[in-house]
Structure 1
Amino acid sequence: MKFLTKISNTIMERYLPDPYIFVAILTVLVLFLGIVLTPSSPLDMVVYWGDGFWGLLSFTMQMVIVLAAGHVLANSPIFKKVLSSIASKIKTPSMAIIIVTFISLIACWINWGFGLVIGALFAKEIARHVKRVDYRLLIASAYSGFIVWHGGLAGSIPLSVATEGHPFAELMGVVPTSETIFTPYNLFIVIVIGLTLPFFNRWMMPKEEDVVEVDPNLLIEEEPNFPPAENTFASRSERSYVLTALIGLIGVSYLVYHFVTKGFSLDLNIVNSIFVILGIILHGTPQRFLAAAGNAIKTTTGIVFQFPFYAGIMGMMTASGLAGVFSIWFISISNEFTFYLFTFYSAGLVNFFVPSGGGQWAVQAPIMLEAAQQMGADYAKTAMAIAWGDAWTNMIQPFWALPALAIAGLKAKDIMGFCLFVLIFTGVIISIGFLFF
């Protein structure tokens, strides 16, 4: 296994371009495929791209906040002590890989936004304490936990179909989570991945001479340089603990109200609210919070300038019908026994071009649900097959890795050699879940 991962890492380092180059190539490829495989003209495809370019603007801002706010929270004095205390108890590289993977799996199953950030922050802190751990594999392990998000409590597709009045309610009705998230096949997939992936990642540990330790420069933290305190309103307010306490009280009151009235409901906005409010409180003064925010925002460049290109790709895939072409091809080779399996594979392919769970559901659901109706297949299981396909190929799609990479200070090519084998390993488990349950 070590030999295979070494080859994979070498290939990725040589040939996998920067995520921006990747999305640029993907844009050209989808435009070309749309012209060849659909009735769309070159001008049509360009218009679809331009019309969709800002389609993820709201989501892009959410991701910028989740990354920046998570970074701010992690750099608060108290949070750093907690992470450092936990990380200091991990003594060996093997233990580091196993624990990071396990923590990330649990966090992502609870909420993907929370898991993405916490896993990467925890991995980076471990790198400060554990010597001779391969930093690339450590961050890949933190990211690998993301594989279970769509089978977890914050999965966008199972939560969507469990909501009254969802777009496909007339066809499939309202589907409770007992028929999606908490079904035997879904729990089988989640539990088996949860019990085996930490040890699979540990199995990929490079030989001693091939270990790439963390660059010490990535662990250097900029200390804020505050101007001298002055006896002015502006200076006093910037250093005011009272103002922080008032804002914290307002924020915590809202969070309590939310959880009391809506239960344990964690959408991306609530995760962001938790991160921002805790960041404000734990930094103590507005001045320290703003300084931490200024440093954190530097890590969001990749998201700001790459997500619109993915939105443009989604626009081309949807408006041209190209996503439908891919889905119909998989349906054509399916039968009653393999339908869910090929639905899963088709969703994995479409996810390369439409890496948004909600966006992919909107594109694929009409086609796959109609096919399920014709075959007498279960609608809920069809939806979960699309959900798992969406989660599966995220392992080698840089879109979702960007937050973890920004926190870690790495490039996609640094971790994708390991993630490729995570894709293969988890693909076998997920296939068994849909084929034999």
Structure 2
Amino acid sequence: MLKRLASFFTYLMRHYLPDAYLFAILLTFLSAILALIFTTAGFTKLITTWGDGIYGIIAFAFQMILILVTGHCLALTPAVNRILVWIAKIGDTPVKGGMIVAFVAGICSFLNWGFGLVVGGLLALQVAKRNRKADFPYLIAAAYSGFVVWHMGLSGSIPLVIATSKHAQNFIEKMTGAVVPVSQSIFQPFNLIPAILLIVTIPILMTLIHPKEDEVKVVPEDRLAELCGDCPDVEMPQNPTLADKIDHSYTINMIFGLMGLIYLYYHFSTKGFDLNLNIVIFIFFIAGVILHGKPVNYIKAVSTAIKGAGGIALQFPLYGGIQGIMIGTGLAKVIAGWFVALSAPETFYMFQFWAAGIINMFIPSGGGQWAAQGPITMEAVKMMAIDPVRSAMMVAWGDQWTNMIQPFWALPLLGLAGLSAREIMGYTTVTLLYSGCVLSIFALLVGFGVL
């Protein structure tokens, strides 16, 4: 049954879902129309918030390009390539391949969302390279499905914000005067149990939705070789100049890499396990520099990796504009308010989760969504006398949930794989339905005091 359901959604997405760029433009139109209908914002306010949002996300877009490029370069080192190949060998059948990709992506996404996206995608490429009968979009969808737990994990924007004193968006501290350590959010049973359950069961779900043999889409050998790439090893010219010797200098590379390691030691020794996005990029960068051995090898790896970054550069600013409309006009607060009005104390957490899922379609950035939904969440907490931490985490759950049908976070994966969103979203729609049921049940259990 699930295989037929996945086949149905795959057919729908491949025939009716526009390119991710057009999807972002259509979402822009929809958010603008809804803002004009349901808020007091006029046309001028709408246009200015949209325009401000477009360039307001440029720094984040560049971070995403860097995490894709540095992660891909790291995977092109001989050492990391051997690890990925070793793991990929476990997936010696199409179904096993989907299982191992989803499982590894889930664990890595829980540790850090950027790490999970890159590792999941690169592992999927290696599985496809060694298992020519596996459906390639299915493997990339398995990698993206593992991402559905990211906001319950160590790099979740909302739990990290409410654990940071005097943060502008720490609405819990503003209301109660106290910060919330991650031991009271991420590592509480109400959050940890469903996270582990999803990490373990989504790989099983993948075994049930692999397409039939006559529906399998296999990437051509030459295309796969281009996507995976070989570990670069540029040879020294026969009569090297001084410039050539510098380009191939292991010494220069190691000294530079040592500088990076010293910085990382200082960072973690003074700030604890602060694994933020910039540090993940820095780790990928320094590790890649060291493991490539020669500067010229890293330069060649970057030339290979940068080819997949076009979608991010094109589409992220569009989502910045949508986020600007949603927050600047107050539309996000209006939508959140509808669900608050429908709620009782026992059902509030579930409705909060659903509301966050809808808002995430327009504001796929977790931090941006909390900025929009956080204040009305805290107002509801005071009115209903319910737990602010669990309420905040419901926003986190909803934010990660509908990513399964939102191409925004899939762009790094799609860049690695050379696929379009429509080719994987049929499979991830099944993940959306399954994870939505699981998280809705747990939200109800929280509401009735079981967790």
The TM-score with structure 2 as length reference comes to 0.94
Counterpart of 2:388 (choices 373, 379, 385) is 379
Measure, in 2, the Cα distance between the counterparts of 1:270 and 1:413. 32
Say whether the 8 Å CA contact 1:158–1:177 is kept in structure 2: yes
Q: What SS is found at the alignment partner of 1:53?
A: helix
Say whether the 8 Å CA contact 1:64–1:300 is kept in structure 2: yes
- The equivalent of 1:53 in structure 2 is 54
Equivalent runs, 1:280-319 vs 2, <5 Å: 280-319=289-328
The TM-score with structure 1 as length reference comes to 0.97
Equivalent runs, 1:166-181 vs 2, <5 Å: 166-167=167-168, 168=171, 169-172=173-176, 173-181=178-186
State the percentage of identical aligned residues. 45
- The equivalent of 1:87 in structure 2 is 88
- The equivalent of 1:116 in structure 2 is 117
- The equivalent of 1:423 in structure 2 is 432
Say whether the 8 Å CA contact 1:283–1:289 is kept in structure 2: yes
Residue segments in structure 2 that go unaligned for 5+ positions in a row: 447-451
Say whether the 8 Å CA contact 2:326–2:363 is kept in structure 1: yes
Measure, in 1, the Cα distance between the counterparts of 2:421 and 2:301. 25
1:412 to partner: Cα distance = 0.4
Measure, in 1, the Cα distance between the counterparts of 2:419 and 2:34. 32
- Figure out how many residues of one structure are paired with residues of the other and give that number: 437
Counterpart of 2:279 (choices 270, 273, 277) is 270
- The equivalent of 1:70 in structure 2 is 71
Say whether the 8 Å CA contact 2:13–2:422 is kept in structure 1: yes
1:253 to partner: Cα distance = 1.7
Tell which deviates more after alignment, 25-34 or 80-89. 80-89
Amino acid at match of 2:174: E
Measure, in 1, the Cα distance between the counterparts of 2:439 and 2:182. 19
1:43 to partner: Cα distance = 2.4
- The equivalent of 1:36 in structure 2 is 37
1:17 to partner: Cα distance = 0.9
Amino acid at match of 2:384: M
Tell which deviates more after alignment, 70-79 or 265-274. 70-79
Measure, in 1, the Cα distance between the counterparts of 2:153 and 2:99. 20
- The equivalent of 1:185 in structure 2 is 190
1:226 to partner: Cα distance = 7.1
RMSD of the alignment, in Å? 1.5
Say whether the 8 Å CA contact 2:353–2:394 is kept in structure 1: yes
1:227 to partner: Cα distance = 8.4
Say whether the 8 Å CA contact 2:247–2:295 is kept in structure 1: yes
Amino acid at match of 2:257: G
Measure, in 2, the Cα distance between the counterparts of 1:226 and 1:46. 54
Q: Does 1:390 align with 2:390?
A: no
Measure, in 2, the Cα distance between the counterparts of 1:229 and 1:120. 38
Say whether the 8 Å CA contact 1:188–1:433 is kept in structure 2: no
Amino acid at match of 1:181: I
Measure, in 2, the Cα distance between the counterparts of 1:45 and 1:319. 8
Say whether the 8 Å CA contact 2:236–2:244 is kept in structure 1: no
Measure, in 1, the Cα distance between the counterparts of 2:398 and 2:83. 36
Amino acid at match of 2:51: G
